[in-house]
Every structure is written in structure tokens, then in C-alpha cells.
């Protein structure tokens, strides 16, 4: 076991795979997309205490870490003074398609509002805005930008007009994680990954679950801070004055949990590494599938089953991620991204 872990986390040499991709990054993306799928499915099963605690632990860090990786991988967007506008247009096209598809899969209830985004497509639209900011980020002082955006994220929660329209709240609140990823170099990431802190990282996740089972009744009024989509007064009601402090505590927890998760991801190519190349179809399709399940009463039916059966949702999410990350879905997604006929970008 020791030799296996040493090989996984402290290989003598780390080489890119045949396509020139870093296996660690693909392993990381695969692990994070599993958490994204799990988080969205668990949102319908929070009546089960164990799943509710797991749901909130996942939400402490999974999107901050996911967005950190998005920033880390966005360094190529602006090179040699040229901005990759194709990247922006492709993301925006996929956002529109995802938003419309999601509306159809939820039964077309209410009026379709493309830019009032409260559900999963928010990430793609926010990624458009973050990517557009890259030329500015490259020219700015790193510490100044990071500190300023953190302060802006803490303050913006006091403005009740900043919410789901154009995903403004989430764009601002998650921006520091994108910036941190964008400014992180490969050398800095490797230095972090060379730390021998895997056991403390494992203990952190185990202990946090146990601690949350005890303190949840006391922190229940504050846990929705992790969704980042609303103002403090709409989340906390009478505690809204403490919103910036609560968000700062969440930032600190997200930072520590994200580092712990980064440390636990294997650094070498494994059988599932290739699946990390195909996270976009998983992100889109699992939401459409979950919403169809909701429309047909699947989760209501599942909640009537014995707890052991309900807990099978966890391995189900892993298997679903593997299924949706198959190369056929990925080819279809890539084809659609490259042929946005309706917007005239092709």
C-alpha cells in the first residue's frame, strides 16, 4: 500500500500523456465532476441526514475548486496579444443551448428567461465573463487584483440588487477562485503537490463530516452561503449584518478543503484519467437527466425506499459520470460547440 501511494503521489518523474495533457489535471477534473454530479443529485435527497451532511460538505469546496481549475487552464486564451474569441463564443453558445434544453427538460414551466440564471447553466455564463477578464488580469498586479476581488465579493452580498440576473452574484463571488487558478503556475502547483500531507487531508474530510453531524443545528441558518447566488438579507434574514464575515469563513474553509482535495488526487495516468478530458458533456447531460428524473417523481419514489437503497445514489453518481464521459457523448458535444449555427459563429 505504501509503495502504491508513493507511486501515485510522489512519482520519480511526471510525464504528459500521448495527447500532451497533464494526467494530474485530468484526474482532478474527473474527481471534481463526480462531486458536481453527486451534489446535484443529493440536492433532492437532503431529507436523509447523512446525505444532507455530505451535500453541504461537497458544496463547501467543489465549485471553488472546479473554478480554480478553470482559471488554471485558461492561460492559453490570450497569447501573443491575440484573444481567443472563439472560446468565448463557444461557451456562450453552449450556455444558451444548455439553458433552453434545461427549460424543456423541466417541463417548460413558467416563462423562459435566458439571463435570469439560478440553475446549473450559470457556470458557463460566468465562465464567459471570467474569460473576458483575462487580458486585464494579465496586466494587473496579482496581489492587488486578488485582494480587491475578495473584498468586492464580501461587500456585494449587502446589495440586494445583485442576484441571479446575468449570474452577477455568482460571477463576483466565485471570481477570486478563478483568478487564483489563473495566477497559479505549474511550478507552484507541483510544489504544493509535493507536500506530504495526504493523511491530514483524509482526516479533514472524515472529521468534518462527523463534526457537521453535531453542529448542524447551530450552523443551519448559515449553510446556504455556499450557493453564492443571493444577497445576505435573503439568505440570513436577521443575521444579514454578519454576511461578509460568514462568507469570509466559507472562503477560508473552501481554500483548506480545496487544497486537501488537490492533495488526494493521484498524479499519474490511471484507467480513469482519460475521462477527465470529457467533463463538459457530463456537466450538461447529468443535469438534464436529473431534471427528467424529478419530473417523473423518481426522487420522491426513492425517498420511500429503505435508507440503504437510498444511499446507493452515491455509487450511482459515480457510474453515471463514467457513462456520460464516454467518447461518443464527447464527440457530439464538441461538434455542437464547433457548429453554433443559430448564432452565426461558424
C-alpha cell at 58: 461537497
Question: Nearest-CA neighbor of 228 among 287, 172, 159, 284?
Answer: 172
The pLDDT assigned to 343 comes to 47
Number of neighbours of residue 284 by Cβ within 10 angstroms: 23
Q: Which of 186, 260, 257, 179 is nearest to 22 (CA)?
A: 186
Range 81-111 burial, b when 16+ CB lie within 10 A, else e: eeeeeebbbbbbbbbbbbbebbbebbeeeee
Name the pLDDT band for 19 (thresholds 50, 70, 90).
low
Domain that holds residue 112: 2-343
339 Cβ contact list (under 8 Å, min separation 6): 346
The grid coordinates listed for 39 are: 451534489
pTM here is 0.92
pLDDT classification of 342: cutoffs 50, 70, 90 = very low
pLDDT single digits (tens) 191-236: 999 888 888 999 999 999 899 888 999 898 899 999 988 999 999 8
pLDDT tens digits, one per residue of 44-87 = 999 999 999 999 999 999 999 999 999 999 998 877 777 778 88
Alpha-carbon distance 178 to 181, whole Å? 5
Phi and psi of 165, rounded to 5°? -65, 125
**Count: domains in the chain:** 1
What whole-number distance in Å separates Cα of residue 335 and Cα of residue 199? Answer: 42
Amino acid at each position: 500500500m505504501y509503495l502504491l501511494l508513493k507511486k501515485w503521489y510522489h512519482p520519480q518523474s511526471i510525464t504528459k500523456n500521448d495527447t500532451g495533457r497533464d494526467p494530474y489535471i485530468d484526474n482532478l477534473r474527473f474527481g471534481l465532476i463526480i462531486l458536481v454530479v453527486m451534489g446535484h443529485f443529493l440536492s433532492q435527497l437532503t431529507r436523509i441526514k447523512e446525505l444532507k451532511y455530505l451535500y453541504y460538505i461537497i458544496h463547501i469546496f467543489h465549485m471553488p475548486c472546479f473554478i480554480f481549475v478553470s482559471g488554471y487552464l485558461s492561460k492559453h486564451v490570450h497569447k501573443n496579444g491575440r484573444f481567443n474569441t472563439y472560446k468565448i463564443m463557444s461557451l456562450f453558445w453552449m450556455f444558451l443551448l444548455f439553458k433552453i434544453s434545461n427549460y424543456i427538460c423541466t417541463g417548460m414551466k413558467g416563462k423562459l428567461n435566458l439571463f435570469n440564471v439560478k440553475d446549473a447553466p450559470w457556470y458557463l455564463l460566468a465562465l464567459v465573463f471570467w474569460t473576458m477578464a483575462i487580458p486585464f488580469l494579465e496586466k494587473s498586479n496579482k496581489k492587488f487584483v486578488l485582494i480587491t476581488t475578495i473584498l468586492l465579493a464580501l461587500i456585494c452580498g449587502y446589495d440586494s440588487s445583485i442576484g441571479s440576473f446575468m449570474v452577477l452574484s455568482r460571477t463576483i463571488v466565485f471570481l477570486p477562485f478563478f483568478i487564483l487558478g489563473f495566477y497559479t503556475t505549474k511550478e507552484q502547483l507541483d510544489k504544493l503537490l509535493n507536500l506530504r500531507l495526504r493523511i491530514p487531508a483524509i482526516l479533514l474530510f472524515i472529521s468534518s463530516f462527523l463534526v457537521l453531524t453535531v453542529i448542524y443545528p447551530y450552523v443551519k441558518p448559515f449553510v446556504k452561503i455556499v450557493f453564492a447566488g443571493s444577497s445576505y438579507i435573503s439568505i440570513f434574514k436577521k443575521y444579514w449584518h454578519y454576511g461578509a464575515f460568514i462568507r469570509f469563513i466559507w472562503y477560508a474553509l473552501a481554500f483548506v478543503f480545496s487544497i486537501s482535495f488537490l492533495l488526494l488526487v493521484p498524479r499519474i495516468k490511471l484507467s480513469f484519467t482519460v475521462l477527465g478530458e470529457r467533463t463538459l458533456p457530463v456537466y450538461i447531460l447529468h443535469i438534464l437527466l436529473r431534471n427528467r428524473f424529478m419530473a417523473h417523481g423518481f426522487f420522491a419514489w426513492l425517498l420511500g425506499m429503505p435508507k440503504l437503497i437510498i444511499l446507493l445514489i452515491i455509487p450511482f453518481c459515480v457510474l453515471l459520470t463514467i457513462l456520460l464521459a464516454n467518447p461518443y457523448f464527447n464527440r457530439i458535444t464538441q461538434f455542437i460547440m464547433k457548429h453554433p449555427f443559430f448564432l452565426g459563429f461558424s
